[in-house]
Amino acid sequence: MTKTILKFQNVSITYANGFRAVRKVSFAVRSSECLAIVGESGSGKTTLVKSALGILPKNTKVSGSIKINETEIVGAKEKTLRKIRGLFAGFVAQEPFSAFNPVFSVFDHIAEAWRVHKLQPKKSEIFDSLERSGIENAAENLKKFPFEWSGGMLQRAGIVAVAAHKPEIIIADEPTSALDADRADSILKALRKTDAAILLISHDINLVQRFADRIAVFKNGEIVEMSETESIFENPNHEYTKLLLSDNVHEKYATDKSNPKIILEAKKLSKFYSSNGNKIHAVKRADLTVQTGEIVGIYGASGSGKSTLLRMLATIELPSNGEIFMQNELATSFESNKLFFKEARKGFVMPIFQNPLSSLNKNWVIWRIITEPLEAKHRTEKLSKVEKLEIARKILAEVGLSEIDLNTKPAKLSVGQCQRVSIARALTANPKLIAADEPTSALDARSANIVMKLFSKIAEKGTAIIIVSHNEPLLKTYCHRLLQMHDGILENE
């Protein structure tokens, strides 16, 4: 009989502000099995993970029982929890660049897995583990800092650190959301090679189908269905499970472009950075034209230069070489640090960022965030608060958020709702071009589809949209044109 490594029994979790994030959840993870928990953003998955590791905020009430290897976690002292963390239970974070301390080398970070338990780090073991996970020249690369590694490489290094003491269970919270499909697969393969039991939190249904033995579907803090992976996909019982699976099916979404004009043209763009006297080419060559009402998708692996290209197209960064024309006027040129096209600072191009929560001012209420573009200095009309509230209400209705309280702050909204608020803010500026960098990577499948359909609606009205993403299937469904970024070069499909 297989051993139970992690057991949740009737666990309910209520935050200090009274919000009940998890309601009477019970499940067990057996040795060597992978249990995936899937669900929408804000359903309570991350709260569950944090409770298993005893890292919930102070004053959070946890009832029920959580056991790792027969050790009770609920109410355990910090001394007991420290003996569990790293040795019996490992954790892989979502965002590798946030999980690694930028002032320490990658080697120091991995070695910390030994040092915190007063053990000597084994250099040869670290080098071998990294080479086995596909990182070449491990000894040289380990001396570098995290920002010199790609996200995929860093995530693999994180797994080496986590697996240092061969923990019985590894808890991975969205370990692949920041990675493209190929890298995501290699990360999950690396995790499964460790032979530990895995509790995998993910909103990527496809990934979960390939790697999990069992799936628990999470909604509003409860498990609505739990079964073997094959059974969930072939014969889902709960309505919500059926909805989640149907959101994953991408049928071509037809949009119409009429009277197209060229809104943006980029010629021979490139961008390099200097580091320790070396030139790092983030973008080697990119030529691109975008028409009004067109949705252009750019996909590629992590580190291929997609985001750098988008930042140049949005005039957030200046190119090292090449020129950008907007509405047939020169906007940027490598010959000058100046921005020639003044309209680029009048809402001509508006950005949508990957992390919706950090792209909104957390201290502002929603209506103020959405109507901020109306305060631009080129707008001579001064609007009253009542007028701004009315505009905010209309725009929120356009993005499907008419039920939101205008005086709410972003922290009270889900990640998907925050992304729609970002889009609403962009629409207020009445842009000719929207530059979206991984706008759906932090979202579950439902929210991702809602956001992409919103982009299609916006494009129908004439706004051009450039979307950078590693989610090729999603881009194929919604984009008029798809381009690939490979090793700094933009290739036509």
Partner 1 sequence: MYSEFFKNKSALVGLTLGTLLLLFVVFVPIFSTHYPNEQKPSRKLLAPSVENLLGTDQFGRDVLVRTAVGGRRSLGATLIVIGLTLAVSILIGISIGLVGGIVDSFFSRIIDILLAVPTLVLALAIVGVLGVGFENLLIALVISFLAFYTRLVRSYALSIKQRPDVITARLAGISWTRIILTHIVPDIFRQMLIVATLDLGGIIISIAGLSFLGLGSQPPDAEWGAMLGEARFYFSNAPHLLFAPAVAILLSIVSANLIGNALRDVQELE
Binding stretches for partner 1 (CB under 8 A): 16, 57, 314-316, 344-347, 349-351, 353, 355, 358-363, 369, 372-373, 375-379, 411, 422, 425-426, 429
Alpha-carbon gap, residue 119 to 216, rounded angstroms: 37
* Cβ contact 20:14 at 8 Å: yes
CB-wise, 38 or 433, nearer to partner 1?
A: 433
CB-wise, 235 or 380, nearer to partner 1?
A: 380
* Cβ contact 295:465 at 8 Å: yes
DSSP per-residue string spanning 72-134 = E-TT--HHHHHHHBTTTEEEE-S-HHHHS-TTS-HHHHHHHHHHTTT----HHHHHHHHHHTT
Min dist CB 397 to partner 1, Å, is 21
Min dist CB 411 to partner 1, Å, is 7
Min dist CB 400 to partner 1, Å, is 21
CB-wise, 26 or 358, nearer to partner 1?
A: 358
CB-wise, 6 or 314, nearer to partner 1?
A: 314
Q: Write the CA distances from 15 to 12, 19, 213, integer angstroms.
A: 10, 5, 31
CB-wise, 155 or 422, nearer to partner 1?
A: 422
Min dist CB 437 to partner 1, Å, is 9
* Cβ contact 172:158 at 8 Å: no
CB-wise, 129 or 308, nearer to partner 1?
A: 308
* Cβ contact 157:110 at 8 Å: yes
The four Cα atoms 467, 471, 476, 482 give a dihedral, to 10 degrees, of 50
Alpha-carbon gap, residue 382 to 378, rounded angstroms: 11
Min dist CB 150 to partner 1, Å, is 21
Min dist CB 248 to partner 1, Å, is 28
The separation between CA 458 and the C-alpha centre of its own chain, rounded to angstroms, equals 23
Min dist CB 93 to partner 1, Å, is 18
At 378 the three-state DSSP class reads: coil
For 17, residues 6+ apart whose C-beta sits below 8 A from its C-beta are none
- Number of alpha carbons in the 13 Å side-chain half-sphere of residue 454: 29
**Neighbour-count burial of 258, counting CB atoms closer than 10 A to its CB (0-12 exposed, 13-18 middle, 19+ buried):** exposed
* Cβ contact 39:444 at 8 Å: yes
Min dist CB 16 to partner 1, Å, is 7
CB-wise, 84 or 396, nearer to partner 1?
A: 396
Q: What are 433's strand-pairing partners? A: 349, 464
CB-wise, 13 or 349, nearer to partner 1?
A: 349
Min dist CB 139 to partner 1, Å, is 33
Helix (H) or strand (E) holding 185: helix 181-193
CB-wise, 158 or 351, nearer to partner 1?
A: 351
